[in-house]
């Protein structure tokens, strides 16, 4: 399959509307989209990514009005969250409308919905004839792609097109909140923080490892994820390790002594933004060990910690 690279949302949407699989930029990470009305294109997403078929896809909409096409009920909590955070980096899990195929939701009767704020994504989704199912545009298990070059590296020849926009402004996947149960549940941390969510829905709780093990609420979270080829060693800011060879390091405070390639970030925003592109750069340079500072579990630190722990294999 020939993969077209295009800067045109209109050309990308035309390919999608004909049943193609098209990667597109969003503010979180690049997404790999197919129309929910093209079953063969949905299957191609799973094949291209090497994604297990029990891992549901998030459905992307162009505007809040499209919600009623894909869900049967908007709960009062969901309505409040939509009011505050749509369009933006938040995915809400709600009861699915019968027109959303079970191949998209991996057999679940709920569906994850997101309305991105990125202008190119919105134009692309506006021109799409139907809502667009899209997981992250990377090979399953690898770090998410935060620029079109990373998408192309992973998926060239396996997808129909890449809509080439700017690098993702946030660089971490969306926050996921399950609003299909009686108390909203934070399934995946992201740049909309638990503290921000609690200001709107104070009762929200965090899904525990126990919840996930007994009845995985978000099937994708049981798989290894975000991992570069290198081994990842996590450390706390106060315990900067001393290394003896050439390694790579990313974090907020001074990197460990002896590190050759490092990315020292000044803010958590920058840390989240740089994390996956740093991992990919380390792979390109053949780095075998990456030291990563674990931020505290507050604010954006929660999402960065989550990605680091998974990348390090602590599923
Ligand atoms: P990705 O887009 O690759 O970041 O993966 C999408 C994530 O959303 C995975 O972790 C899925 O398990 C999760 N997800 C999608 N749909 C649902 C749903 N209906 N219920 C719970 N989690 C979902
Ligand atoms: Mg993913």
| pLDDT cut 90: percent of the chain above it | 82
Q: What residues are neighbours of ligand 2 (ion), with CB under 5 Å? A: 136
- Considering the chain, what is the average pLDDT of its residues? 93
Would you list the domain boundaries of the chain? 4-206, 231-311
Q: With left for phi above 0 and alpha for psi between -120 and 50, is residue 279 left, alpha or beta?
A: alpha
Parallel, antiparallel or unpaired: strands 22-24 and 31-35: antiparallel
The pLDDT tens digits for 80-111 are 999 999 999 999 999 999 999 999 999 999 99
Tell me the pLDDT band of 309, cut-offs 50, 70 and 90: very high
Q: How far is CA 40 from CA 2, 3, 43, in A?
A: 17, 17, 5
- The pLDDT assigned to 12 comes to 98
CATH architecture of 231-311: 3-Layer(aba) Sandwich (3.40)
Q: What pTM was computed for the model? A: 0.95
Q: How far is CA 143 from CA 83, 87, 210, 229, 230, in A?
A: 31, 24, 25, 10, 12
Distance, CA 91 to ligand 1 centroid (Å)?
9
Which of residues 242 and 214 earns the better pLDDT score?
242
**Average of pLDDT values for 250-275?**
89
CATH architecture of 4-206: Alpha-Beta Complex (3.90)
- The pLDDT assigned to 225 comes to 78
Do 137 and 145 touch, CB atoms closer than 8 A? yes
Q: Give the chain's radius of gyration (CA, Å).
A: 19
Per-residue three-class SS string for 136-167:
ECCCCCCCCCCCHHHHHHHHCCCCCEEECCCC
Of all ligands present, the nearest one to the C-alpha of 94 is 1
**Average of pLDDT values for 23-39?**
98
Which of residues 9 and 215 earns the better pLDDT score?
9
Q: Which atom of ligand 1 is nearest to the CA of 91?
A: 8
Q: Which atom of ligand 1 is nearest to the CA of 173?
A: 4
- The pLDDT assigned to 201 comes to 98
Pocket probe mutation, ligand 1, options 145, 174, 187, max atoms within 8 Å of Cβ: 187
Q: Is the CB of 187 under 6 A from ligand 1?
A: yes
């Amino acid at each position: 399959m020939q993969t077209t690279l295009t800067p045109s949302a209109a050309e990308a949407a035309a390919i999608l509307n004909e049943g193609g699989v098209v990667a597109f930029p969003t503010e979180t990470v690049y997404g790999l989209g197919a129309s929910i009305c093209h079953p063969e294109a949905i299957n191609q997403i799973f094949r291209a990514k090497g994604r297990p078929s029990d891992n549901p896809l998030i459905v992307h909409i162009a505007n809040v009005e499209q919600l009623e096409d894909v869900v049967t009920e908007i709960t009062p909590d969901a309505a409040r969250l939509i009011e505050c955070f749509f369009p933006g980096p938040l995915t809400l899990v709600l009861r699915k409308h019968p027109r959303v195929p079970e191949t998209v939701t991996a057999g679940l009767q709920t569906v994850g919905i997101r309305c991105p704020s990125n202008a190119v994504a919105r134009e692309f989704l506006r021109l799409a004839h139907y809502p667009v199912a899209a997981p992250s545009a990377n090979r399953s298990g690898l770090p998410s792609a935060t620029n079109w070059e990373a998408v192309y590296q992973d998926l060239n020849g396996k997808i129909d097109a890449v809509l080439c926009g700017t690098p993702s402004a946030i660089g971490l996947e969306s926050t996921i909140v399950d609003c299909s149960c009686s108390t909203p549940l934070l399934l995946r941390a992201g740049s909309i923080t638990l503290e921000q969510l609690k200001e709107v829905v104070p009762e929200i709780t965090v899904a525990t490892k126990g919840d996930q093990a007994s009845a995985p609420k978000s099937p994708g979270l049981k798989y290894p994820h975000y991992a570069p080829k290198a081994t990842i060693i996590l450390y706390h800011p106060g315990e900067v390790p001393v290394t003896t060879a050439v390694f790579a390091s990313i974090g907020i405070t001074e990197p460990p002594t002896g590190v050759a390639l490092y990315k020292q970030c000044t803010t958590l925003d920058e840390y989240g933004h740089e994390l996956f592109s740093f991992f990919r750069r380390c792979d390109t340079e053949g780095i075998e060990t990456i030291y990563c500072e674990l931020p505290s579990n507050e604010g954006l630190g929660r999402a960065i910690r989550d990605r680091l722990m998974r990348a390090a294999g602590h599923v």
